[in-house]
Amino acid sequence: MVTGNAKKLFTNSEFLSLISKEWLRSISKTAMIRRVQKFIPKVKPEFFSKKGTAGIRSPIITPQGKFLSDVMELENEHSFHIINYNSPGATGAPAYSAFIVQKLRDRGFLDYKEDSKESIWSFDDVINQA
């Protein structure tokens, strides 16, 4: 018999919604592509030759038993931690990384100097678009 915290979890509508959506995305290529299209609208089903599986997420649960939907940044004078960052296929990672680099640079933690060599990646271009 399920009791205690497990019972709370399996009677939590937010948790049940999360696992049902993730399960659907694992078995349906169309459902997964629709999810990705919210972040990358130009993605088309014909770009994919076979379905994949949804990844494992480890969301933060607050002391009140609620899922934390947003990213959490924890810092002190010696460290900076990013917790609960979820992005399908890490589609938001380049822009978010540029945002974090700028934040750390502005606070004096990084000594960033513009690199003059030719590259497809330009920190300044990405951060100015954000």
CB atoms closer than 10 angstroms to residue 32: 22
The Cβ of residue 110 has, within 10 Å, a number of other Cβ atoms equal to 13
Q: Please tell me the pTM assigned to this model.
A: 0.49
Angle, helix 29-37 to helix 13-27, in steps of 10 degrees: 110
Query: How many angstroms separate the CA atoms of 35 and 23, rounded?
Result: 13
pLDDT digits (tens, 9 = 90+) for 5-42: 777 777 888 888 877 887 787 778 788 888 778 877 88
Segments making up each domain of the chain, as ranges: 1-69
- pLDDT tens digits, residue range 92-110? 777 788 888 888 888 888 7
Nearest to 64 by CA among 119, 19, 12: 12
